[in-house]
Amino acid sequence: MIWSARTLVAFAALGEAVPQFGGGGGSTMLRFGCSQVVIDRIDPLVNPDLLPSPHMHQVIGGDSFNVSMPSADIGNLASCTTCNFADDFSNYWTANLYFKARNGSYKRVPQIPNRLLFNDKFTTQTSGGFVVYYVSPGKGKVTAFKPGFRMLVGDATQRAKKGSGMKSQTCFRCFSGPNFGGDNASPCADAKLDTETLPAGQCLGGIRSNILYPTCWDGKNLDSPDHKSHVAYPSSGPATFTGSSTGGDCPASHPVKIPQIMLEIVWDTKAFNNKADWPADGSQPFVLSTGDPTGYSQHGDYVFGWKGDSLQKAMDGGPCTGASCANLKTQVIDGANKCKVPKRFPENYDGWIDRLPGM
């Protein structure tokens, strides 16, 4: 079964009556919203102990997020989370998006909640933040991450295309309708729908950013010096997102199948559609918090923090659909929105600013 329009419409209509998303083989697809836990200039994975880190991030998940997060079981350290699943104390963070007006001033572009799917109202009420997916392979076993596990997708210094084709780890989709409607086409798979660069034209309904993590692990290391080489994409190349399978076989060097994580951010560009404020040369005005107007530097950091074996149980079959899973506790949106991490580096990141934080 693939991430097809027909499947999704059928499942969305049936809502919670549907036992699981995947077609046979016990495949699981979790899709759930997490509110923002903090926006801050820290990066405990790439720049531990550095305050401030080089650029701003938006962070979701548990409240043990900090300037450094030594390899420990953060599922036990955190006391609350902004995510739908109450046992997910992981942290996920990405670049922020800013609008640069013709006069040179910047303003942060806010995120809006994703659309309603599977009757999941939590995800439509998040404050800031974004959506996280976890997919098990269509067949065969998936091994959930171990305490202390972390990884990184993308490169904050990248400014040009690497490799060929659309099989990208990060991509953007431009929504041209007046409101964000989402759609069911697989992200980062079709160059007619998605771009690796920030969209060139106006996106009246917003810009969506997808980040796809590797699906294979070396089975030994919880991290690596570049935070990437302990994980890998399948031998056939980066797995695209289908919602029910995690792509081809793993390479011999990284033989262990791990859940496929995908992040999905929706930026609300409505306040920035006045053409008179756009660059006079016709270029697009958005820039990532890395100082990058191309979009290639989008990246996603992940520090695993599910409590106990809760993620493994979900991956073993649930049954799970979107934000509802037989073996996983959920929380109400008010609880999630109350969970906050204090800002470690106080600075103005909203309102009009003269330069990007750290740039």
Neighbours of 190 (CB within 10 A): 13
- Closest approach, Cβ 101 to ligand NAG, in A, equals 4
Which 57-116 positions form the footprint of ligand NAG (CB under 6 A)? 66-68, 101, 103, 105
Q: Which is nearer to ligand NAG, 43 or 196 (CB)?
A: 43
- Closest approach, Cβ 72 to ligand NAG, in A, equals 11
User: Taking a C-beta distance cutoff of 8 angstroms, is the pair 71, 223 a contact?
Assistant: yes
- Closest approach, Cβ 199 to ligand NAG, in A, equals 20
- Closest approach, Cβ 166 to ligand NAG, in A, equals 34
Neighbours of 39 (CB within 10 A): 19
352 binds ligand NAG (CB under 6 A): yes
The DSSP bridge pattern shows strands 256-257 and 216-217 to be antiparallel
Nearest CA among 146, 135, 114 for reference residue 33: 114
User: Taking a C-beta distance cutoff of 8 angstroms, is the pair 264, 130 a contact?
Assistant: yes
277 binds ligand NAG (CB under 6 A): yes
340 binds ligand NAG (CB under 6 A): no
Helix (H, G, I), strand (E, B) or coil at 27: coil
Cα 72 to Cα 68, 148, 238, 285, 294: the distances in Å are 11, 5, 29, 41, 36
224 binds ligand NAG (CB under 6 A): no
Helix (H, G, I), strand (E, B) or coil at 270: helix
Q: Which is nearer to ligand NAG, 13 or 51 (CB)?
A: 51
Q: Which is nearer to ligand NAG, 107 or 228 (CB)?
A: 107
- Closest approach, Cβ 66 to ligand NAG, in A, equals 4
Which 282-301 positions form the footprint of ligand NAG (CB under 6 A)? none
Q: Which is nearer to ligand NAG, 9 or 51 (CB)?
A: 51
Task: Indicate the Cα dihedral angle 163, 97, 191, 187, nearest 10°.
Answer: 100
Q: Which is nearer to ligand NAG, 8 or 101 (CB)?
A: 101
12 binds ligand NAG (CB under 6 A): no
Q: Which is nearer to ligand NAG, 74 or 333 (CB)?
A: 74
User: Taking a C-beta distance cutoff of 8 angstroms, is the pair 153, 170 a contact?
Assistant: yes
The DSSP bridge pattern shows strands 320-322 and 324-325 to be antiparallel
- Closest approach, Cβ 104 to ligand NAG, in A, equals 7
- Sort 283 into a burial class: Cβ within 10 Å, 0-12 / 13-18 / 19+: exposed
- Closest approach, Cβ 265 to ligand NAG, in A, equals 23
Q: Which is nearer to ligand NAG, 44 or 295 (CB)?
A: 44
Neighbours of 138 (CB within 10 A): 18
- Closest approach, Cβ 279 to ligand NAG, in A, equals 12
Q: Which is nearer to ligand NAG, 74 or 189 (CB)?
A: 74
Residues binding ligand NAG: number (CB under 6 A): 8
**What gap in Å lies between CA 118 and CA 116, rounded to an integer?**
7
Positions that interact with ligand NAG (CB under 6 A): 66-68, 101, 103, 105, 277, 352
